[in-house]
Chains A and B, each alone.
Chain A
Amino acid sequence: MLKRIIHKEWRAALRNRQVLFFGLVVAALLLAASAVGYVSYAGQRAQMAQAQAARRAEWVGQGEKHPHIATHFGTFVFKPKNGLSFFDYGLDAYTGTSVYLEAHYQHEFMFRPAQDYSALIRFGELSGALVLQVLLPLLIIFLCFGAFTQERESGTLRLALSQGVSRRQLAWGKVLAYYGVVLALLVPTLAVALGGAFWLAGLPWTADLATRLALLALSYAGYFFGFVCLCVLVSAWASSSRNALLALLTIWITFSIVVPKTAAALGDNLYTLPSMQAYHQAIDRDVDLGLPGDTTKAGRRARLVRAYLRRYHADSVQQLPLNMEWMASQAGEDYLDRVQTLHRDSLRLVLERQNRLSTYASFLAPYLAVRNLSMALTGTDLSTSLDFQRQASAYRLGFMRQLHHDAAWHSTYGQFYEYHPGAALWASIRDFSYQLPAVESTLRQYRPELLALLLWVVVLPLALHRSTRRFPLT
């Protein structure tokens, strides 16, 4: 019986020219999004790789130089495009793409790609994720809003029931049929679009990547399934096709436009970020005066000198086997890093609090759950971007330590310009390469979203299943 219902619905869907047209549009957009996504991904990846290589060459080829001048010459780190970012751009346009690493100062990331655009980019960027998250639910609505209302309006519902079909069978038949239509449209399109981009990008096949892809597929599949159930449910209870459509469109706009915007705005109203100036002033203050319970810069330096004199049983810094100046410089960097980490953590806390509202709003609007999970799985979310910052600043610290320790053992106290290392030292410092954190550790921060999506997938079918007996017949 179920089979017959499904077949009937498929035929109806294929005959519905509007659905067919919109389905083709969605498929075309998906293909276009993937093509564009791949081209700009490849372009940006090449840009970043080229910039990184050029800065590395500058660093290695800077010639013989006083180490302190070299630490200020510094180097740059560019944010590489993650493999899956051609599917979901996430926050890539809004997080800075490069950072300057030099002594005494931890710069912030600069050059957000969205800054090169006018208001246009704020209307959204066409990506596979955008099509799936926003447009596909609309296609589902177009496909299913008349599921029951049309049967009622044309009188076929009573007819079908009189043939011994139960409302539950009918409901599930329709759900499966529509879901089948969605998958029939998506699976081949995605296989061609993403598979092609994937193959062109030449991504190395790893277990982590496979997990990410599988979870992406599962999240989207669940999201769509919930939507189909929702549409059939609304259609079953609506008094007319027109009302069903209106209700579903209202839900869709609330989900994908109103709730995300409101949650982000309220989060921003509740928690305020400091200004860049105040942020750096606070860091400078903590470095100069010391963290709470600690002494000033001069006090810390004196303490360090005393410690070294004790360790080497020396009476003066001149007797030390190493150049104390450089050890003091490195101690300054270590301290800066400590202060910076504290301040960055408190900044991260504000960001997470601002976003928490959007996280919890995903129980209200599953769009948010899928959006956040999709960004997390493609490595284009906030946590990955913050992790990149952490790795970059850890690299900066190691970079400085290597130069300072080298200079400490190769120069004597009181000398400043005498020691001029060259390419051998510069090249001995490894180049930065970013390691994407394992998917498990990223996902741990997305438990609410996972739960919200799970509820979406469980509660709606359940609601449909339980209420079928009470569907109105007229």
Chain B
Amino acid sequence: MLSLIFRYEWRRFRRNRLQVALVVVLAVFGLYAIYYGQRQIAGQRQIMAQVLADEHTEFAGYQAAFQADTSQAAQKQAYQTATNPTIAWYRHGYAATLPPASLAALVVGQRDLNPGYYRLTGMGLYYQLFQNELANPQKLLVGNFDLAFVLVYLLPLLIIVLSYGLLSAERENGVLPLLHVQAASVRRLLLGKLLFGFGLVAALAVGLSVVGFGVAGASLQTDAVSLLLWLLTVLAYCAFWFALVWLIVSFNQNSAVNALAAVGLWLLFLLVIPSLLSAALAVVRPVDSSQLATLVRRTGIDNEDNEHAVRAVVRAYLHQRPDLAPSDGDTLLQPNLLPKGFASYAQLNTQRQRPVVQHYLGAVAARETLAGRFSLVNPAVSTQNLLSQLAGTDLPTYLRFFESLPAFHRQIVDFYYPRLFGNRPLTAADYSHRPVFRTPPLTRQGVGAGLAQLLVVAVGLFGLGYLNLPRQLRR
């Protein structure tokens, strides 16, 4: 029975030029989206490789400077920068990067908005954290034409076109009475047709995703779970839309009403609910990043020419870090009082600023938590979030990266400051255990729950339609 329906549906689909054209157009869009995403991410990878190469060159230069001929001014300066902690603590820059994960090319997500790398020195931490990558704001506003866009925005439209006339077209073509006299129930027949549509859309979505996996260079060995979850999320999202259209169809209205209702719901889920929600959140949970602006100010000790003032700053810092004070008190402040003062000031300032940043991050997190509560009525955004979580291009992944920076900065401080306060030069051997940044791993926590929620909604909508259909047919 099912195979018969499929065969006829396939024949019917092939004859419908509009539908075939739509599938082809969508496939072309999908392929372009994969190319586009791959280019975006390749660009980011290139910048990141440059940042790491710059860091490598910088430190290779320091190590080479140990063999420098210090009788020449330039080489002497290089030697000083490499060995003298009073210079090195603020000059040596360490790259902290958030390299794009393998699926990032399929959903660029927030990666075009948030920086993917930082260069950190032993200076104040927050002063170094708020530089953005150059971007075209108009482009940011419009968003990325990546595969996730095709899947989240355009695929539902194909689903609507394929199935809004599921029942109404039969009636409008005068076939419905014929169907009623068949042995199989109309509901089973329609289910068969729905299943055919689902198969078609799923094949397209899975096909595009698999091409995307290949282009993005995802490997089955390392990313198998993420790839599987990606496919399941895409399928669950398709199922949601089919279930929704099924529910609309079950009311047995004419084609135009069905199409209007379906497009109305598409608009509701893709535009109205998300934009209403973000507008409401902006009012209910305002986040004020203007408070962060002053953190980037390059402040220093105002009266640096006053030795007492500088000593007081150093003492205040060493009070918190007694481990940095050398055992003989004489060398505590001299030589190099001023660099020690600046270094102390930088760290004290970082401590003072920490609550401001924490407050900001807390406000962002609170807003996100509140937004998450609405995921049930916000399936498109939930799906986008799930996909970008799998690709590591969502806001939480960036925030985890951002929040791992203070610990790394502390490692840098702990590398230079004991040498600065202990008046010990850096040696060539020291460089072999200089700090190295480790990017926090991606987490798939919550993906399962999000996926389950999407499926439950789909099943619920489908069930409603299933029960509603016979009643409406009897009318």
Contacts and interface: CB of A to CB of B under 8 A. Distances in A.
Contact of A264 (B114, B139, B291): B139
A72 B280 CA distance: 39
A277 B46 CA distance: 12
Interface stretch (B176-184, B232-240, B364-372): B364-372
Contacts of A125: 275, 278-279, 282
A363 interface: no
Interface in B112-127: 113-114
Nearest to B267: A138
A224 to B, nearest CB: 18
A242 B290 contact: no
Interface in B15-33: 18, 29, 32
Interface residues of A, number: 96
Nearest to B393: A119
A275 B47 contact: yes
B73 interface: no
A265 B36 contact: yes
B434 interface: no
A122 B387 CA distance: 14
A242 B255 contact: yes
A126 to B, nearest CB: 4
A29 B272 contact: yes
Nearest to A262: B145
Given A120-B278, A123-B271, A138-B267, A111 B381 contact: no
Given A115-B289, A122-B143, A260-B142, A36 B280 contact: yes
A97 B256 CA distance: 46
Nearest to A118: B395
A315 interface: no
B467 to A, nearest CB: 24
B274 interface: yes
A117 B278 contact: yes
A310 to B, nearest CB: 30
Interface stretch (B56-64, B210-218, B295-303, B449-457): B295-303
B134 A275 contact: yes
B379 to A, nearest CB: 12
Interface string B244-271: 0000000000011101100110010011
Contacts of A109: 132
Interface stretch (A164-172, A245-253, A316-324, A392-400): A245-253
B264 to A, nearest CB: 7
B327 interface: no
Interface in A344-363: 347, 351, 354-355, 358
B278 A73 contact: no
Contacts of A257: 153-154
Interface string A80-109: 000000000011011111101010000111
B185 interface: no
Interface in A250-285: 253, 257-258, 260-262, 264-265, 267-269, 272-279
Contacts of A135: 267, 271-272
Contacts of B18: 246
Contact of A111 (B47, B130, B257): B130
A110 B275 contact: no
B277 interface: yes
A117 B381 CA distance: 12
B1 interface: no
Contact of B143 (A63, A261, A417): A261
A119 B134 contact: no
Nearest to B287: A116
Interface stretch (A39-47, A186-194, A289-297, A330-338): A39-47
Nearest to B398: A115
A110 B395 contact: no
Contact of A273 (B135, B267, B270, B297): B135
Contacts of B135: 94, 273
A363 B396 CA distance: 40
A74 interface: yes
A222 B110 CA distance: 36
Contacts of A268: 40, 136, 139
Contact of A261 (B149, B281, B299): B149
A353 B190 CA distance: 51
A245 B83 CA distance: 75
Contact of B294 (A55, A115, A265, A276): A55
A246 to B, nearest CB: 7
Interface residues of B, number: 89
Interface string B293-319: 110111110101100000000000000
Nearest to A246: B259
A277 B381 contact: no
Contact of B293 (A110, A112, A119): A110
Contacts of A354: 136, 138-139
Contacts of A246: 18, 161, 259
A110 B297 CA distance: 12
B81 interface: no
B415 to A, nearest CB: 23
Contacts of B280: 36
A195 B380 CA distance: 34
A120 B260 contact: no
A97 B132 CA distance: 12
A98 B139 CA distance: 20
Nearest to B36: A265
A118 B110 contact: yes
Contacts of B257: 18
Contact of A98 (B138, B263, B264, B293): B293
A48 interface: yes
A385 B137 contact: yes
Contacts of B264: 22
B364 A116 contact: yes
Given A73-B297, A119-B395, A264-B145, A273 B136 contact: yes
B276 interface: yes
A304 interface: no
Interface in B49-107: 50-51, 54
A80 to B, nearest CB: 11
A58 B302 CA distance: 13
A40 B286 contact: yes
A65 interface: yes
B259 A249 contact: yes
A178 interface: no
A357 B444 CA distance: 38
A76 interface: yes
B468 interface: no
B133 interface: yes
Contacts of B267: 135, 138
B352 to A, nearest CB: 14
B325 interface: no
B283 A126 contact: no
A116 B260 contact: no
Contacts of A29: 272, 276
A213 interface: no
30 contacts: A36-B279, A47-B288, A48-B290, A51-B293, A66-B305, A94-B113, A97-B293, A98-B293, A100-B296, A111-B289, A112-B132, A116-B364, A117-B367, A118-B394, A119-B109, A119-B110, A119-B388, A119-B394, A120-B274, A120-B371, A122-B384, A138-B263, A145-B256, A245-B256, A258-B29, A262-B145, A269-B36, A272-B43, A354-B136, A382-B136
Given A130-B271, A130-B275, 19 more contacts: A36-B282, A40-B286, A76-B294, A91-B138, A91-B141, A98-B290, A112-B137, A113-B289, A115-B114, A119-B385, A119-B388, A120-B274, A122-B143, A123-B275, A242-B165, A257-B154, A261-B145, A273-B134, A351-B138
Top 4 A-B residue pairs of the complex, sorted by shortest distance between their CB atoms = A123-B274, A265-B145, A126-B275, A94-B137
